[in-house]
Amino acid sequence: MQIPIDDRGLLLGDGLFETVLAERGELVAFEAHAARMVRGCAVLGLPAPAPKEAEATAMAALLAAGLANERAAVRLTWTAGSGGRGLDRPQPLQPRLLAAAAPAPQASEPLRLLTAQVRRNEHSPASRLKTLAYLDNVLARREAREAGADEALMLNTRGEAACAAAANLFWIKEDRLYTPALVCGVLDGVMRAAVLGTAAALGVETAEVRAGPKALAEAEAFFLTNSLMGVRRVGALDARPTPGHRLIDRLAGALA
C-alpha cells in the first residue's frame, strides 16, 4: 500500500496513530483507542475518523496480513492528508486513514531501562498524544539501545519522570502505586488508564504525581505498560538493578 508524497503526515508529522493489540481476531480495547484518537484530533485541530470506519480498516489490515488467528499489533495511522507547500493546512482537510498489521510475539523478561538525554516537551500538547512526530521517541530509544538497554526513560524539560519511549512508567512504594501525571508530558496510555482503574478496584492506593530523581531513587520497584506488552517489570534502571514486587504480579494477572 502506498500514499502520495504530498501527505502532511510524511512531510510534517501532522497526524496521529494508535497501536492496538489483536488477539484471535479481536481488537482489544478498540473503543478506548478510537476515543483517544478522536480526543487527539480535537487537540490538533484535525477532523476525527469515524470509529466504525477506523475499526473496519484495522480489521481489514489484520485479515490482509493473515494474522486473524495470531497475536498481532495493528497500527492505525490518521494523517492530515495531502496539502500544499508549507506549514499551513489546506482547507478543507482530507485526512487519510491507513492501517497495517504485524505479528506481536509475547515476551515477559524484565526490561532494562535507561534514562535518555532527549527530553519530552511538556510545553507541547503533542507530548500527551501519539503523533506522527515521534522522532524524539526514536532518538530516546536509540540512546537506550546503544547503551545496551531495552527501553528509554524520558524525563521532561524540568527533569521530572514522564514515560518510556513507547510505554508508560509506574513504580511502587510502601504498597502504593505511582505514575507521572499527564501534565508532565506523558502519553495518555490506554493501558495506563486500565492499570490505574484495576489498581483502584483492587483497593490499591494510586497517585499521579510530579516525580523528580529523589522519588525514583526511593521507589521499590518499577514496571512499564502499553497495549502490546500489558504490564512488564523493569529489571534495571540505569546502573541500578530493580526487583519484582507482588503488586506487579497481581496487576499483570488481573489485566491478562
Q: Where on the chain is the footprint of its own copies (CB under 8 A)?
A: 1-14, 17, 44-45, 73, 75, 77, 79, 84-89, 98, 100, 102, 104, 118-126, 131-139, 141-142, 145, 157, 165-166
Q: Which helix (H) or strand (E) holds 190?
A: helix 190-201
Q: How far is the CB of 187 from its own copies (least distance, A)?
A: 13
Q: Which is nearer to its own copies, 77 or 179 (CB)?
A: 77
Please report how the helices 190-201 and 30-44 are oriented relative to each other, as an axis angle in degrees rounded to 10: 120
Q: Which is nearer to its own copies, 38 or 172 (CB)?
A: 38
Q: Cβ contacts of residue 59 below 8 Å, gap of 6+? A: 27
Q: How far is the CB of 135 from its own copies (least distance, A)?
A: 4
Q: Which is nearer to its own copies, 40 or 110 (CB)?
A: 40
Q: How far is the CB of 249 from its own copies (least distance, A)?
A: 26
Whole-number Å distance between alpha carbons of 64 and 50: 21
Q: Residue 13: how many CB atoms within 10 A of its CB?
A: 16
Taking Cα atoms as reference points, which of 94, 92, 67, 68 lies closest to residue 80? Answer: 94
Q: Which is nearer to its own copies, 4 or 203 (CB)?
A: 4
Q: What are phi and psi of 195, to 5 degrees?
A: -65, -45
Q: How far is the CB of 244 from its own copies (least distance, A)?
A: 25
Is the C-alpha dihedral spanning 52, 53, 56, 62 positive or negative?
negative
Q: Which is nearer to its own copies, 137 or 179 (CB)?
A: 137
Q: How far is the CB of 47 from its own copies (least distance, A)?
A: 14
